[in-house]
Each structure stands twice: as structure tokens, then as C-alpha cells.
Structure 1
């Protein structure tokens, strides 16, 4: 019985880590930069934001989560959140946002692709929708790195072989 309880507890811990691999849910507003680094480790990338800096913790190219931890000029947390979701992607404004804006808000993409029918790079982000569907979000840039369009699409993992 004790072994079963230990295995159940281990499974719960692993499930919690899979949902939030950086354990960033409990980052408190006002925490110091050092406290964030002690809890989450080194960020994937650090970018400047007005009045401070943003620590980016991204699981791209294979993961589906990216946490942004915003710090003020004094190095204190002002906000921490997971941004690869439908609500945050809706903030992208075609014709106004640039590649720098997209990468500042969402971190580095999983892929940077090119296709013959589009004259510019396409940033591809992997994410998970609210119904836990595996998704892509594509951001199409023109030759000046300005967003021209952006939209979600399904990521078919372990899909049946449909070539027959």
C-alpha cells in the first residue's frame, strides 16, 4: 500500500511538471530577479522592455509553453505569465507588429520557415489549445519583417497515414 501511495505521488508530481515545466505559476509580484533565477534557472533569452527587462523561459522548438517574467528597473517581478495561448496570439496586429515585437512577446519560434507562395519568413510556434489540442501558430512576415498575417492550425501528431 505504501508503495502504491509513493507511485501515485510521483505520478502527480510528474503531471504537474508536464503542465508547468518551469514551475512558474507561483512567481510572486515583487520577487527579486535572484529569486526568479533560483527557482526557474537561467532564462532562454533576456530582452529589454520599457522600464526593465523580460526573462523568457521557452520550451520551443518541441514544447508548447513559454513563460514571460517581467522585471522593473529595480529587478523586481511585475508580472509572470504563460503566453502561448489563443488570447495572447490575438494581440498580434498585422501591418503594425514586427518580428522583434513577436519575439519579445512570445520568445523564439519553434521554426522559421519559407514557402514558395510567400515572399518572407514564417515564424511557427507550437502551443496547446484550451481543449488540449496540439496546435501551430503561424506568423507571416514580409521582406521588411512586418507581420502581414497570423493564424492557428492543428498539429497532427501520430495522425494516421492518410496517403493511401
Structure 2
């Protein structure tokens, strides 16, 4: 009886440790899973916030931590349904690959997920803005915005540093 209990506790501790790693270091955890089936990714990271079919039978699962978090992760699967890559999408490198005049709302959604902040419309500019929170530089909180014209084509992108400095906007007085 004690052996079974100890074995069960050991298995439970191992599962909890795996969950903690997936939560605290998702990219590092996923890199060890490259080649694993979708079921293993779902077991480790849970249900994705969005899924997209991409070219040549590949697919992408989005794991968004927005609106309060600063990350959006993409799990890309090959045509056989095995994990091919897993990365944080809200980085300056990824954002600078956006193509104004070419990309549509669908392209932005597939790259960064749907916005979790309220969508804004600026009537004088005739532009809709999707906003995401991210870190730039040395963990400086910022907002990334994608602006679309009335046809749904990406017009411009913008990164603005958050002058209030992140999550805790209250001051202790």
C-alpha cells in the first residue's frame, strides 16, 4: 500500500513539475517536444486560444496570454501533425516582418492571434487598430498596434513604450 502511494505521489510530482516548466518556460519546454504529436502539445500546454490552417497542410496553434500578459506563443505543426516549431510571437523581430500594404487582418491574426484588447476605430484616420502588450528592449513594457484601412489591409504598425511601466499602475503613498 505504501509503495503504491509513494509511486502515485512520485508520478503526481513529476506531472506538476512538467506543468510548472510549461508555464514558466514554455519555449524551452516546447523545444524538447519538437516532433511530438498535437496531442502531446495539448496535454502539456492545454487548449490553444486559436487554431489556423496554413499552407501545404501545416497548422498553427496560438497560445495568447493577452490582454494582461505580454506573450503570444505559436505552435507550428507540419502536415503530419507533429510539432515543428514553438516561439514567442510578440517580439520586435516578428513584428518587423509585418508587411503593410500586403498583409490583411487574417495575416496579422495568424501571426499574433486575435487582439484581446478592445479594437479601436479612428474615424479621422479611417483606421482600425488592434493592440497587443509586449516587452521591448530590456523588458520595457510597451504596446504594439496594427492599423488597418477600411479594406482590412495592414496600413502600418507601431510600438509605443508604456510610460506607466507595466502591470502595477497604482502607487503607494
Under a length normalisation based on structure 1, what TM-score does the superposition of the two structures give? 0.80
Residue 151 (str. 1) matches residue 151 (str. 2): no
In structure 1, the residue matched to 2:88 is 82
- Distance in 2 (CA, whole Å) between partners of 1:58 and 1:130 is 21
- Distance in 1 (CA, whole Å) between partners of 2:109 and 2:25 is 19
Deviations 1:103-157 (A, max 9, x none): 1011112321112432131111111113111100111100010011111001233
In structure 1, the residue matched to 2:136 is 129
- Distance in 2 (CA, whole Å) between partners of 1:75 and 1:132 is 34
Structure (1 or 2) with the greater helix fraction: 2
Under a length normalisation based on structure 2, what TM-score does the superposition of the two structures give? 0.76
Count of equivalent residues: 145
RMSD: 2.2
Residue 23 (str. 1) matches residue 26 (str. 2): yes
- Larger Rg: 1 or 2? 2
Unaligned runs of 5+ in 1: 1-12
In structure 2, the residue matched to 1:102 is 108
Contact 1:29 1:78 in 2 (8 A): yes
